[in-house]
Structure 1
């Protein structure tokens, strides 16, 4: 009996502990209707760092398990297209029913009108309809991904909640450079499918997949678009894009030019206190201006053999350069007395180019045998120069110059067959990639040893 009581008590304590680490709630609109497929993000305080993310289900409910084991106050951030964002401080437990207010969608100074996107959830696959919805007016594919349930986007990054970085396909073609998302106009997107439990046709290391399908254009002759954007933070940034295409019968020939110039400037203040046998206080200020420039040209052709079979080829050239300059000043006090003062300067610039070729075939053989074939070649070449200077009142000054770079070749081929079998789908095929990489690091002062590496890998 004592053992039974002890076991029951342990289970109760464990249950209470798990409940104390859980954050849950429900979302509704002004008409008391549940809001499904909203993004809910938990942020730490006071730095607002990302802790976890999830989406509400079709009943508007959401839950985070074991997200706040330290029992500290957190901030939940709720966002959904067509509603005002909501922020609320929480610790643990059920936050109850939260109501979101409808809002007009703003793009710059323009109010976007239209219907909200529709969602379709099938197993571990969430499909968002983009065509003829509010999402189609946002600008670029990257702008659309910012509002897709289950995704977290940053400056040139895309992550899936709990799954890390996904692999991304556009019309069955795997993209290897996220800058393509800035070149794809949101009006050209039909739908986006997010797969959080990929099947056997993907590599075992792939945790999530994004599949973007574009709108099939009709009509013949010349077409094109020009897009320009200017942004102002602490510094000015801009990008321009020109795209042209020619369609005749089932042939589509296209080309584009893309230019992007980004300038940023950040500052940071730090105060660290270290308690040992002496009291050390380190007060630091840093400033980090940097700029990047990206130039990209692309051309290719698609040919529709018939309703179920198409093939194409695409070539992309990309050049980039970057320049950053980090300056930091640190003041050290020991037992409330000035001990040292030193500054740190890190100047870095780099440039590189990339060549990419893709050829594909997608089709249906017979009545139901689907074929997906892709061949890719990629070559990249980049170099980075870095100069570090350290000046101290009490220690020896030091300067470090280094040059690093790499040359990469990638060859990849993927062939997948799929056929319906009873209530499921039978898939078989192969994916092969060959990578050659040469890298080097040279330090002029020989503080660090020079390094020259060559890596060849083959995956199947």
Structure 2
């Protein structure tokens, strides 16, 4: 074999091996070929449409919070305190549920967050609403277009030194433009507060220690029973309901007061509350030619209640001696 030919063959073979090695990926190389990239993003629950904040509830974390009040408390520009809803920076707020003006704040507690479809906050309501209206909150439920019987029940148990229980039951029957409902709520709240305080007073070089202790227990039981109907068709809506609220409370305050090393003075205060109220309400609303609005509200309420207080004290405490020293 010709030596030149042999060297030329080795050169070609070496070049082929080198080129192949350069195209092979090193096992620990940071260079990889991506065949496909998929990017997923979750749409925000709230978005701004013009001057309206629109919150879509299904598919978001808001759908698992509890009831409508829990959802509203998490939405921007809305504040919920003691079951009262307000809009930051706005005074007069109107709330509509499925196109019907809300008549009772208990309605928000009785709507499950999983049944909410959409919440719209109109920051500039416009001429369609009263001139005194600063903001409008429109709530749409997922059950709005479902006819038939529905029932929901919510039970909450809480412990803060004492056990508290709240249970809400909601029954409704919807047929075409009519909605018949019966709601009930029972709230047993057993609060307890206890502790002691000690204060040192100095007057003209004389030091006096004044102390007190308290043990306050306030178990209360309140209830709501409400039944009525709603009718809505187009711009016309009407409805009526009857509501009964009983209340039963027992307040007990026991504690002691003492000055220096004198025997402690014990006090006991017992207060009992028994009350109930009745409310009958009727409303009618209609809009003509998109600018004339008729609105009527009529409420009839009767409330009765009585309370009794018993107070007593035992022990001796030389309070007069203190006044003589300070005098």
- Report if TM-score (shorter chain) is over 0.5: yes
Q: Which residue does 1:346 correspond to in 2? A: 269
Task: Give ranges in structure 2 of 5+ residues lacking alignment.
Answer: 1-41, 320-327
**Residue 306 of structure 2 is aligned to residue 388 of structure 1:** no
CA spacing shift, 1:222–1:180, aligned 2, 3 Å: closer
Distance 1:246 1:380 in 2: 30
Equivalent in 363, 371, 374 of residue 297 of structure 2: 374
Max radius of gyration: which structure? 2
Equivalent in 223, 228, 235 of residue 295 of structure 1: 223
**Residue 215 of structure 2 is aligned to residue 323 of structure 1:** no
- Kept in 2: contact 1:261–1:291 (CA 8 A): yes
CA spacing shift, 1:233–1:272, aligned 2, 3 Å: same
Distance 2:245 2:135 in 1: 24
Spell out, residue by residue over 1:274-328, the C-alpha distance to the aligned partner (whole angstroms, 9 max, x if none).
Answer: 3433433222221212211122211111112x32222111211111111121112
| TM-score using structure 2 length | 0.67
Q: Which residue does 2:175 correspond to in 1? A: 248
**Residue 204 of structure 2 is aligned to residue 273 of structure 1:** no
Q: Which residue does 1:309 correspond to in 2? A: 236
Q: Which residue does 1:286 correspond to in 2? A: 214
Q: Which residue does 1:230 correspond to in 2? A: 157
Q: CA deviation at 1:120?
A: 4.7
Pairwise CA RMSD of aligned residues? 3.7
Spell out, residue by residue over 1:58-91, the C-alpha distance to the aligned partner (whole angstroms, 9 max, x if none).
Answer: xxxxxxxxxxxxxxxxxxxxxxxxxxxxxxxxxx
Distance 2:240 2:45 in 1: 32
Spell out, residue by residue over 1:240-285, the C-alpha distance to the aligned partner (whole angstroms, 9 max, x if none).
Answer: 2222111112111111222221212222232223343343322222
CA spacing shift, 1:140–1:386, aligned 2, 3 Å: farther
SS at match of 1:320: strand
CA spacing shift, 1:357–1:251, aligned 2, 3 Å: same
Q: Which residue does 1:88 correspond to in 2? A: none
Map residues 436-451 of structure 1 onto 2, 5 A cutoff.
none
Q: Which residue does 1:213 correspond to in 2? A: 139
CA spacing shift, 1:127–1:289, aligned 2, 3 Å: farther
CA spacing shift, 1:284–1:142, aligned 2, 3 Å: farther
Q: Which residue does 2:30 correspond to in 1? A: none
Q: Which residue does 1:239 correspond to in 2? A: 166
| TM-score using structure 1 length | 0.49
Q: CA deviation at 1:353?
A: 1.0
Q: CA deviation at 1:118?
A: 1.2
From the two aligned structures, give the one with the greater strand fraction. Answer: 1
CA spacing shift, 1:121–1:249, aligned 2, 3 Å: closer
Quick one: higher RCO (CA 8 Å, sep 6+), 1 or 2?
A: 2
Distance 1:184 1:119 in 2: 23
Q: CA deviation at 1:365?
A: 0.6
Distance 2:195 2:151 in 1: 44
Map residues 2-151 of structure 1 onto 2, 5 A cutoff.
117-118=45-46, 120=48, 127=53, 129=55, 131-132=57-58, 133-149=60-76
- Kept in 1: contact 2:155–2:168 (CA 8 A): yes
- Kept in 2: contact 1:168–1:174 (CA 8 A): no
Spell out, residue by residue over 1:126-169, the C-alpha distance to the aligned partner (whole angstroms, 9 max, x if none).
Answer: 85636324333221233334434566656x46486998998775
Distance 2:70 2:102 in 1: 20
Distance 1:165 1:325 in 2: 39
- Kept in 1: contact 2:277–2:302 (CA 8 A): yes
- Kept in 2: contact 1:346–1:387 (CA 8 A): yes
Distance 1:294 1:218 in 2: 33
Distance 1:362 1:246 in 2: 22
Distance 2:262 2:73 in 1: 48
Q: CA deviation at 1:376?
A: 2.0
Spell out, residue by residue over 1:367-391, the C-alpha distance to the aligned partner (whole angstroms, 9 max, x if none).
Answer: 3334443222222112121112233
- Kept in 2: contact 1:159–1:165 (CA 8 A): no
